[in-house]
Chain A
Amino acid sequence: MVECLTNKKVLTKGNYAIANAAVIAGCQCYFGYPITPQSEIGEFMSGKMQELKRGYVSAESELAAINMTIGAVSTGVKAMTSSSSCAVALMQEGLSYATTDELPVVLVSVMRGGPGLGNIYPSQGDYFQATKGGGNGDYKLIVLAPSTVQECVDLTYKAFYLAQKYRNPTVLLADGLLGQMMEPVEFYDYPYPEIDNSGWALTGAKGRDGRIIRSYGPLADDRCVFLEKLYEKYRKIEENETEWEEINTGDADIILTSFGSTSRNVKTAMKISREKGIKAGFFRPVTLYPFPNKRLKELSKTVKKIVTVEVNMGQMVNDVKLAVNGACPVELIHKGVGAPPSAKEIVKKVEELI
């Protein structure tokens, strides 16, 4: 098990990296129910949180876990839950509530094969679940997609920060490949400023008026005002927090785009394509919401084609098409479930597409 040592390289699994980073980020409470391929997060927390005299509850269900997290963050402390695909499905009601409650819930979603019970192999089939949501109403979750174990650390820190900064539920969207693989990582002190939540947190009404955090909005007009305000916040998030990685896009004829662990193979495929004389570029959204629409739109004007590579039946490709809005053709290379297609397989398909 990883120790909370900072500034020292350790070889660790993605799941442990996420859990350890959450502890360093100041997560005071963890609630969860075990499910492969993310059970190591709960395992780590069950020991470390008790050792640090913080909160750990092995919840009776995922429904309970998300609602416990909502309860904890409403008091102003940092808290998180983690789960996988079919069990994140059970949390959708809570996530929708947390957006109207404007609560900084952090959810780690380590994707496995679906739909339904599916299987335990890696997958990216929950892009829709995370970015479009299965809860009711107009809401958005901030979604961060790491591609290496080091990014599991970096983006866990960021997830806590963005959740606090915008008082909005934030999802770290990893997958079974990242959760189970080990890579050298460096832990470091939480790099973001602490957000003052004394203006809204439920800390007991001694010496001040009571506060209410609620999802209910009975009056139609009031609700319209509230939703406009909520979407003003989302526009701010889109302006300030959109993040992506791009390589060799300047002179590219074809851009390969992908998110999460799959993008590793795609980056390699881009390099191999270059060696073969194909002017290929690489584009990886780091934030899935907010999605880098503007940058993709710009790129679509200078390239001949954009190819999306995913381990699902084609989900992010829809957002790419919306961003590009017909300016260039958008193609899909995909595999339903399992480890990503190899770089060689991707290159072969790219050669067919060009």
Chain B
Amino acid sequence: MEKNFIIAGFGGQGVLLAGEVLANAFMLAGKNVTWYPSYGAEMRGGTVNCEVVMSDEDVSEVNKSDADFIIALNQASFDRFLSKIKKGGLMIANSTLVKEIKTRTDINYLFAPITKLAEELGNVKMANILALGILAKAGKIVSLDALNQALDNVIPPHRKNLLPLNLKALKIGYEYDLLPAKI
């Protein structure tokens, strides 16, 4: 089995880091994985994305033409990558910044106010990790445990004070579907 993921958003929203955490989680689960960033003329405020390919065998290729899962943290990313989702794939979109319009009928959508939830948690920068929690639950392809461990792997020693808040963000994302009323 091979699945690939695109995480996209504004530069500064932490999409590359989210991809790194996701890739680490797959590694910890014993899968083969490749993480590949859009790099180069990207800048804070511009759009940035990364691709994560997870496979039980050798990763077949990167820079694929389509994806099984896409997380779009802003409108530009939603617009750009909507056409790249495979039939039956899942688009997770940040409804705080993305309009809830479903132009394609052959894919699944999950709109969640990711930025707003992160703000309520007390740090808007947690939006990226919160989105991973949502992906873990909805995608059923990576466990919360693996993501928790991956966060510990990725956060460097001098930033370990941020680990509890990140773990909390993951949990909020994971339990988003249990919220009584959608915010």
Could you tell me the distance between the alpha carbons of A39 and B128 in the complex, rounded to whole angstroms?
26
State whether the Cβ of B24 lies closer than 8 Å to any Cβ in chain A: yes
CB-CB contacts below 8 Å: A322-354 with B: 339-340, 342-344
- The one of B32, B34, B60 in contact with A182, judged by C-beta atoms closer than 8 angstroms, is B34
Per-position binary interface string of chain B over residues 44-73, scored 1 when its CB falls under 8 Å from any chain A CB and 0 otherwise? 000000000000001111111100000000
Could you tell me the distance between the alpha carbons of A267 and B156 in the complex, rounded to whole angstroms?
36
Q: Which residue of A lies closest to B25 (CB)?
A: A11
Chain A residues within an 8 Å CB radius of B64: 342
State whether the Cβ of B153 lies closer than 8 Å to any Cβ in chain A: yes
Q: Which residue of A lies closest to B21 (CB)?
A: A11
- The one of B41, B61, B156 in contact with A342, judged by C-beta atoms closer than 8 angstroms, is B61
Chain B residues within an 8 Å CB radius of A120: 39-41
CB-CB contacts below 8 Å: B22-48 with A: 23-24, 27, 32-37, 39-41
Could you tell me the distance between the alpha carbons of A343 and B63 in the complex, rounded to whole angstroms?
11
Per-position binary interface string of chain B over residues 126-156, scored 1 when its CB falls under 8 Å from any chain A CB and 0 otherwise? 0000000000000000000000000001001
**Are A1 and B156 in contact, CB atoms less than 8 angstroms apart?**
yes
**Are A11 and B33 in contact, CB atoms less than 8 angstroms apart?**
yes
Report the minimum CB–CB distance from B2 to chain A (whole Å): 10
Looking at chain A, what size class is its interface with the partner chain? 20 to 34
Chain B residues within an 8 Å CB radius of A176: 39
Chain A residues within an 8 Å CB radius of B39: 36-37, 120, 176, 180
Per-position binary interface string of chain A over residues 163-191, scored 1 when its CB falls under 8 Å from any chain B CB and 0 otherwise? 00000000000001100111110000000
Could you tell me the distance between the alpha carbons of A29 and B127 in the complex, rounded to whole angstroms?
42
- The one of B40, B61, B65 in contact with A121, judged by C-beta atoms closer than 8 angstroms, is B40
Chain A residues within an 8 Å CB radius of B62: 177, 181, 264, 339
Most buried by A among B37, B40, B41: B40
Could you tell me the distance between the alpha carbons of A9 and B153 in the complex, rounded to whole angstroms?
11
- The one of B35, B40, B60 in contact with A183, judged by C-beta atoms closer than 8 angstroms, is B35
Given A1-B156, A120-B39, A264-B59: A344 and B32 interface contact (C-beta under 8 Å):
no
**Are B20 and A182 in contact, CB atoms less than 8 angstroms apart?**
yes
Looking at chain B, what size class is its interface with the partner chain? 20 to 34
Given A11-B153, A37-B39, A180-B39: A268 and B34 interface contact (C-beta under 8 Å):
no
Could you tell me the distance between the alpha carbons of A319 and B126 in the complex, rounded to whole angstroms?
52
Q: Which residue of A lies closest to B65 (CB)?
A: A342
Could you tell me the distance between the alpha carbons of A263 and B32 in the complex, rounded to whole angstroms?
17
Report the minimum CB–CB distance from B160 to chain A (whole Å): 15
Could you tell me the distance between the alpha carbons of A267 and B55 in the complex, rounded to whole angstroms?
15
CB-CB contacts below 8 Å: A258-289 with B: 264-265, 267-268, 271
Chain B residues within an 8 Å CB radius of A1: 156
Could you tell me the distance between the alpha carbons of A127 and B32 in the complex, rounded to whole angstroms?
29
Could you tell me the distance between the alpha carbons of A342 and B64 in the complex, rounded to whole angstroms?
7
Report the minimum CB–CB distance from B38 to chain A (whole Å): 10
CB-CB contacts below 8 Å: B64-108 with A: 64-65
- The one of A184, A342, A343 in contact with B33, judged by C-beta atoms closer than 8 angstroms, is A184
**Are A184 and B32 in contact, CB atoms less than 8 angstroms apart?**
yes
Report the minimum CB–CB distance from B182 to chain A (whole Å): 34
- The one of B20, B32, B61 in contact with A343, judged by C-beta atoms closer than 8 angstroms, is B61
CB-CB contacts below 8 Å: A1-45 with B: 1, 9, 11, 36-37
Could you tell me the distance between the alpha carbons of A36 and B64 in the complex, rounded to whole angstroms?
23
Most buried by B among A180, A184, A267, A268: A184
- The one of A9, A119, A181, A267 in contact with B35, judged by C-beta atoms closer than 8 angstroms, is A181
**Are B63 and A339 in contact, CB atoms less than 8 angstroms apart?**
yes
Report the minimum CB–CB distance from B169 to chain A (whole Å): 20
Could you tell me the distance between the alpha carbons of A121 and B62 in the complex, rounded to whole angstroms?
14
Chain B positions near chain A (C-beta within 8 angstroms): 20, 23-24, 27, 32-37, 39-41, 58-65, 153, 156
Q: A119-B40, A183-B34, A264-B58 provided; 4 other pairs, C-beta below 8 A?
A: A120-B41, A183-B33, A339-B62, A342-B63
11 A-B residue contacts at CB 8 Å?
A: A11-B20, A120-B41, A180-B39, A182-B20, A182-B35, A182-B36, A264-B59, A265-B60, A268-B60, A342-B64, A343-B61
